[in-house]
Amino acid sequence: MWYNNILETIGNTPLVKLNKIVKDVPGTILAKIETTNPGNSIKDRMAVKMIEDAEREGKLKPGGTIIEGTSGNTGMGLAIAAVIKGYKCIFTTTDKQSKEKVDALRAFGAEVIVCPTNVEPEDPRSYYSVSSRLERETPNSWKPNQYDNLSNTQAHYEQTGPEIWEQTEGKITHLVVGVGTGGTISGTARYLKEKNPNIKVWGIDTYGSVFKKYKETGIFDKNEIYPYITEGIGEDFLPRNVDFSVIDHFEKVTDKDAALMTREIARKEGIFVGNSAGAAIAGLLQLKQHFKPDDVVVVIFHDHGSRYMGKMFNDDWLRERGFLADEKLTARSILAKRESQEIVTIDIDKTVTEAINTMKTLNISQIPVTQHDKVMGKITESDILDALLENPSVKSQTLEAVVTKPFPFVDLNTSIDKISAMINKENSAVLVEDEQGRFEIITQYDIINAISGA
């Protein structure tokens, strides 16, 4: 047997029992592994459904352009379908999304426009607003609008819900799903509750999102909204696809818990999944007291871990956000292991001769250069030597004549591995701002001293 095209392989994803990561949770915990879809995410299901419904309704015509605001996964599903069906794609996304997601969309020939995260949906710079403007300006274009397009929910009512019911032989008691657009949880829940109204549906939310409070109070509280790191779940508005009537409870999970649990799933279950899966398992563990030994719990694993290599699976990224324990030496511990020393800087208006005298007096080989008390460059012995060999009269000129680009800045939590990699022929040191806002300089000698004294 073969398939006529890749779109026919969407769906019928496996249900896998979780073991080590949920060992303290009563009941049978099953993960719906949506990474086996061709776009490696559950969003393939609704992307194709939205396109087919739009074609049927005459909204999407041959040779048309699909324009959508997407965090990456919906875009991937749309892009794959567009390749098969002959459409162009333009996607807008936010600057908090992983680079891997953006690169993956471009790999399928899509144009991707990155917009700022920390603006309201109505702001003309938001990825919602930019996609709407592009749709108005682009002839023969169509915007799926995954948030309000109810084909999203319908895809899961027709596919995901029935699959879970059949795979559990109707024994499912709980559904746990991260909530973003709301289509996955609403469509799946509606089908399952029609089969058995006693099934509990729990949505996973994040701090900075409005869902939980709205469900519990009916109040849309703008004070609840603030930037967060977790991808794929939570929103700062109420999409039409979120059917609060079929969701029994929302559980909030912190960015840190979601990120660290994403890594634990790979290490304890051998399943390589993305950030929303980490949030879902973290939320499930927070709710473990509500489960009984006979319960059958299904958790949706939305997408693949390869989309998060620069984030949740990157130690330095986690460490810079304070999510990872300080197991390795970091900039903070390097500074702690050496004697306190005041950093020497020199103003750009000083002459090259003055810089030479400062270096000679203090026995140093490089100095950060400042302008209005801000570091804007550096000078080194080799910079000065090269300039003097080319033009001996340069010594009477200001440092503007010899200044080069500044040393790289690092965070106090940056690992020794990353700092070492940044120190090379071009940069003999790095700069770090301490907790009091003072600048410190770390050289190769400081690293050697920290390692040998560790």
- Assign residue 262 the CATH number of its domain: 3.40.50.1100
From 9, 16, 10, select the one nearest 168 (Cα to Cα). 16
* Mean of all residue pLDDT scores within the chain: 91
Which of 196-205, 310-319, 377-386 tops mean pLDDT?
Answer: 196-205
**Domain-embedded: residue 133:** yes
Question: Would you say residue 324 has pLDDT above 90?
Answer: no
- The boundaries of the domain holding residue 346 are 331-452
Total residue count of the chain as it appears in this document: 454
- Tally of domains in the chain: 3
**Domain-embedded: residue 262:** yes
Residue 365, number of CB atoms within 10 A of its CB: 14
Cα–Cα distance between 353 and 359 in angstroms, integer? 10
**Domain-embedded: residue 80:** yes
List, for residues 80-103, the tens digit of each pLDDT value.
Answer: 999 999 999 999 998 877 788 888
Whether residues 117 and 232 fall in one domain: no
> Which pair of tokens denotes residue 164?
């879970």
Whether residues 337 and 432 fall in one domain: yes
Cα–Cα distance between 324 and 316 in angstroms, integer? 9
Question: Would you say residue 454 has pLDDT above 60?
Answer: no
Opening angle at CA 355, ends 349 and 357, nearest 5 = 135
**Domain-embedded: residue 59:** yes
Question: Would you say residue 337 has pLDDT above 60?
Answer: yes
Cα–Cα distance between 284 and 365 in angstroms, integer? 56
Cα–Cα distance between 207 and 230 in angstroms, integer? 9
Whether residues 226 and 297 fall in one domain: yes
Q: Which helix (H) or strand (E) holds 276?
A: helix 275-286
Whether residues 174 and 265 fall in one domain: yes
Are 72 and 43 in contact by the 8 Å Cβ rule? The answer is no
pLDDT band at 453 (very low <50, low <70, confident <90, very high): low
Whether residues 393 and 307 fall in one domain: no
Cα–Cα distance between 124 and 115 in angstroms, integer? 10
- pLDDT of amino acid 327: 60
Cα–Cα distance between 10 and 49 in angstroms, integer? 11
List, for residues 246-304, the tens digit of each pLDDT value.
Answer: 999 999 999 999 999 999 999 999 999 999 999 999 999 999 999 999 999 999 999 99
Whether residues 11 and 85 fall in one domain: no
Catalytic residues: 43
List, for residues 213-246, the tens digit of each pLDDT value.
Answer: 999 999 999 888 888 888 889 988 899 999 999 9
List, for residues 113-144, the tens digit of each pLDDT value.
Answer: 999 888 887 888 988 899 989 999 999 999 99
* 193 vs 335, residue with greater confidence: 193
Whether residues 155 and 298 fall in one domain: yes
Whether residues 297 and 351 fall in one domain: no
Whether residues 89 and 197 fall in one domain: no
Q: Across residues 300-314, what is the average pLDDT?
A: 92
From 348, 345, 332, select the one nearest 433 (Cα to Cα). 332
From 227, 317, 230, select the one nearest 275 (Cα to Cα). 230
Q: Across residues 432-440, what is the average pLDDT?
A: 76
Whether residues 357 and 393 fall in one domain: yes
- pLDDT of amino acid 174: 98
